[in-house]
Structure 1
Amino acid sequence: MITRSEGSAPGCRTGHEPTPSFYTRWECLNDWLASHAGFWRPAPFKTPSPQWEGRSPGLVRWLDALDPAALDYFDRHPAELASRIAHWVPGMADYPALTDLSAISPPEAAVARVTLDEVDATDMPGRKRAQAGAFAAAILPLNGPVLDWCCGKGHLTRTLARQCTAPVNGFEWDAALVEDGNRLAARFSDRLTIHCQDVMAPELRWPDVAHGVALHACGDLHRRLIAKGSDSQAPRISFSPCCYHRTVSDAYHPMATRVRSAVNALVLSREELRLAVQETVTAPARVRAQRVRVRQWRLGFDALQRALRGVDDYLPVPSHPSRLNHGDFEGFCQWAAAKKGLPLPDSLDWVHWRREGERRHRQVQRHELLRHLFRRPLELWLVLDYAVFLEEQGYEVRLGTFCERALTPRNLLVDAVRVSDTPRDPRSHP
């Protein structure tokens, strides 16, 4: 767990602080990400030959030698990957300290006591049930009314209601989910009410003295929670953010005054925000194989269109109809070319371009492995901005993980308790 005066990042100690503040840690991450932008900004699918290849031929050879099992292993163990490539990218030696977070979650036995029993978890997937239990256990005790933000059917709401003697309410915009959630609550005698409410509505009123919580609210939804809750002087705000790229803005706009005013602050596009939550999705082997084949086809068509147009630029192709999944490479290219208005010669070596797609796919896998190293640093860059903002609004903040990554990669928890009725002047921060 990190509170305002705790953390661990290289070269971040300032003044008499024993360890870096949230803002100092954000500065360290910002500078580190900026210095390594050449590795994470180019999208491998669109950029076959990023500049770092020419500067690090040894790294290219090492990546090329990785077999599928090694690719999968290092993708799941980024700190080990950072250690292995530090020979070619010295800044990777700082990776463990920059991304280190302590656990907020209590012992497993305490989490088990809070998690709903399976018999009570109707319509609640097992993984979601476990996530709700881990999140709830990490924010106990609950000392007042609770508001579950974007609560869906109320999986977390029901979990919290059994740990809270004060009123528990949920906000959800989907009327069908509201109806289902209230029906489940009544069936199991859970004392809560889910309200049909668009949390983005300008006229939204924050319930008096409510502790705002959110488990995996996406993008603008969790940022609205932070802004509305702090503006309403909520006594406590606890949330696990998700899907940072789900925003109406083309680029990320920092929340904290100090971050906004930093002269060298990164500007992240919506697509770069997506990288922070880009994970491999578990699916049946047949589905995974189909996805790989279609990616190879898309890359083969990309290589073909560059050659035919004489322009070495990526040409976006829309989502394809599912019927093409059961066809072949030539049929996919015919469809894609028609969509982009690209004439195809009568005679093409389809085997050559299909193999080129397979070659590009192997290359993309290795470039993506390297790019994936920056998922957690980018996510922490964003979440540290939230922490600094909440401090500026008069909150004491702790930041850590509420469960293991195996349960959910989106395991960060920001827990902010109001300690001041007057927002702090950000210029007074050390």
Structure 2
Amino acid sequence: MTLPPAASLHDSTESVYSRWQPLNDWLAEHRELWASAPFMEPVPGWTLSHPALADWLAGLSEASCQNLDDDPSLLAEQASGYLSSLGRYDELVHVAELADAQQAEQATLPEIRAVDMPGRKRLQAGAFSAAVQPLPHSILDWCCGKGHLARTLAAASGRPVTGLEWNDELVQDGNRLARRFGDPVLLQCQDVMDTELALEGGAHGVALHACGDLHRQLIRRGSEAGLSRLSISPCCYHLTAEDRYQPLSLRAAENPRCLRLARNELRLAVQETVTAPERVREQTRRISQWRLGFDALQRQLRGRDDYLPVPSHPSRLLNGDFEGFCRWAAHKKGLTLPPATDYGHWQAVGERRWKEVKQYELVRHLFRRPLELWMVLDYGLYLEEQGYRVQIGEFCDRSLTPRNLLIDALR
């Protein structure tokens, strides 16, 4: 199938650094707004330096909070009335759209061929495929899973696709599907973190939502091997073996104002639930209220006004009540709950604190996309330093996936 070319990789002469530096400086300037987590710090320190902004947030209804959380541009516009520098949000995060809806539809596998492929993943793979057209090289699909992207790219290009995946069961299922539909796709069981892995220099390396160190491995190893092109949509930047993020780009790392981010701060970049169904949002709300209620209770029990991390909860607790959650959490942290504990009171405290957290977190959430783009621009800057020409843009609308940024680098 032949598609019209998407946005040219070389339409823009703007260097990646000219985008990275002002974004880095803006994030550094506002660090106090996003570095503290209201879930752990009931009254963030920035409320003292920006009282008008804090007062505006305190007056927002729950519905208004949700609407603004779902529309960062509107949030930035309204918040800029209390802190004018936040008005630069749209300017700093704007990137090009790399394919339109018609191109994405053409490049998407028809449902009859998308066996075992979830609907949202099918559309994401099609949009990714449209954004990286044309495809003149053999293709290497990194962390390919069952080969959904590999089969989509093979159908759109007619080129052979090799997929690398560590899970042998997924490899077998993917190869079975490729044989069934006659796709020129071959998946191989491979740990991509293996330092002995050899890559074919002329290939086009692709990765759709490979996590953390996995996509960084493709960036490093792919550029070292001289892959002709790298097209990567990153995900889960915080999944790394390192405690602090070290920029890939030498130029970024040498900038004296370069952000120094802890692993937990990287997590903020992917804390967006625009695609979550209402049922999941309601479960998240309930468990968050319970956690905040228990947090207030444990502060009183311990006589210490600091946050006590509680591990991930088993899903069965969602079918219970607040008291059951508290008993589970107290057991996990070695705390004894007094027999006369007023669980109704502490649950109400949690519900009240949840509303305050939602209000304060609006400001923090405004920096999710800027932090993600900061990471992606660092990757792009590194690839420029390795001799690639780089374009960064969106391969689909954020309603399909919030992780819609794509680095497209051609050597």
- The residue that corresponds to 2:86 in the other structure is 92
- Quote the offset at 1:111 in angstroms: 2.1
Q: Secondary structure at the match of 2:112?
A: helix
Distance 1:137 1:286 in 2: 32
Q: Secondary structure at the match of 2:230?
A: strand
- The residue that corresponds to 2:228 in the other structure is 235
Q: Does 1:416 align with 2:374?
A: no
Select the residue among 53, 61, 64 that pairs with 1:59: 53
Tell me the alpha carbon deviations over residues 55-74 of structure 1, each in whole angstroms, 9 at most, x when there is no partner. Answer: 22322232222223222211
Q: Does 1:352 align with 2:345?
A: yes
Distance 2:398 2:384 in 1: 27
Structure 1 stretches lacking a partner, 5+ long: 7-18, 419-430
Select the residue among 102, 106, 122 that pairs with 1:109: 102
- The residue that corresponds to 1:422 in the other structure is none
Structure 2 stretches lacking a partner, 5+ long: 1-6
Q: Does 1:36 align with 2:30?
A: yes
Tell me the alpha carbon deviations over residues 62-96 of structure 1, each in whole angstroms, 9 at most, x when there is no partner. Answer: 22222232222111110111110112212111111
* One-letter amino acid matched to 1:364: V
Which region of structure 1 is more displaced relative to structure 2, 110-119 or 321-330? 321-330
Q: Secondary structure at the match of 1:341?
A: coil
- The residue that corresponds to 1:182 in the other structure is 175
Q: Does 1:247 align with 2:244?
A: no
Distance 1:310 1:384 in 2: 45
- Quote the offset at 1:277 in angstroms: 0.8
Distance 1:90 1:284 in 2: 34
Q: Does 1:310 align with 2:296?
A: no
* One-letter amino acid matched to 2:261: L
Distance 1:46 1:358 in 2: 15
- Quote the offset at 1:327 in angstroms: 3.2
- The residue that corresponds to 1:329 in the other structure is 322
* One-letter amino acid matched to 1:33: L
* One-letter amino acid matched to 2:393: G
Which region of structure 1 is more displaced relative to structure 2, 337-346 or 237-246? 337-346
RMSD of equivalent CA atoms: 1.9
Tell me the alpha carbon deviations over residues 96-142 of structure 1, each in whole angstroms, 9 at most, x when there is no partner. Answer: 1101111111x322222211111010001111111111111111111
Q: Does 1:27 align with 2:41?
A: no
Q: Does 1:205 align with 2:230?
A: no
Does the 8 A contact of 1:5 with 1:20 survive in 2? no
Distance 1:202 1:362 in 2: 48
* One-letter amino acid matched to 1:348: T
Does the 8 A contact of 1:2 with 1:399 survive in 2? no
5 Å-filtered alignment, 1:28-427, equals 28-105=22-99, 107-280=100-273, 285-418=278-411
The 3 A distance-change label for structure 1 pair 368 and 208 is same
Distance 2:111 2:374 in 1: 37
* One-letter amino acid matched to 2:237: Y
* One-letter amino acid matched to 1:216: H
- Quote the offset at 1:168 in angstroms: 1.6
Does the 8 A contact of 1:103 with 1:402 survive in 2? yes
* One-letter amino acid matched to 2:236: C
The 3 A distance-change label for structure 1 pair 393 and 184 is same
* One-letter amino acid matched to 2:246: H
Task: Give me the identity figure in percent.
Answer: 57
Does the 8 A contact of 2:252 with 2:258 survive in 1? yes
Does the 8 A contact of 1:2 with 1:101 survive in 2? no
- Quote the offset at 1:283 in angstroms: 5.3
* One-letter amino acid matched to 1:21: S
Q: Secondary structure at the match of 2:87?
A: helix
Does the 8 A contact of 1:245 with 1:270 survive in 2? yes
- Quote the offset at 1:337 in angstroms: 2.2
Distance 2:308 2:295 in 1: 7
Does the 8 A contact of 2:108 with 2:122 survive in 1? yes
- Quote the offset at 1:342 in angstroms: 2.3
Distance 2:307 2:196 in 1: 43
The 3 A distance-change label for structure 1 pair 119 and 319 is same
Higher relative contact order (CA 8 A, sep 6+): 2
* One-letter amino acid matched to 1:67: S
Distance 1:308 1:372 in 2: 31
Q: Secondary structure at the match of 2:301?
A: helix
- Quote the offset at 1:284 in angstroms: 5.5
- Quote the offset at 1:370 in angstroms: 1.6
- Quote the offset at 1:282 in angstroms: 5.0
- The residue that corresponds to 2:4 in the other structure is none
The 3 A distance-change label for structure 1 pair 231 and 73 is same
- Quote the offset at 1:186 in angstroms: 0.5
- The residue that corresponds to 1:16 in the other structure is none
* One-letter amino acid matched to 2:65: L
The 3 A distance-change label for structure 1 pair 92 and 267 is same
The 3 A distance-change label for structure 1 pair 323 and 158 is closer
- Quote the offset at 1:343 in angstroms: 3.1
- The residue that corresponds to 2:3 in the other structure is none
* One-letter amino acid matched to 2:228: P
Distance 2:268 2:48 in 1: 24
The 3 A distance-change label for structure 1 pair 323 and 170 is closer
* One-letter amino acid matched to 2:391: R
Tell me the alpha carbon deviations over residues 156-192 of structure 1, each in whole angstroms, 9 at most, x when there is no partner. Answer: 1111112334432111111001001110000001111
Q: Secondary structure at the match of 1:355?
A: helix
- Quote the offset at 1:253 in angstroms: 1.2
Tell me the alpha carbon deviations over residues 230-250 of structure 1, each in whole angstroms, 9 at most, x when there is no partner. Answer: 001111111111111111111
Does the 8 A contact of 2:114 with 2:122 survive in 1? yes
Distance 1:68 1:285 in 2: 15
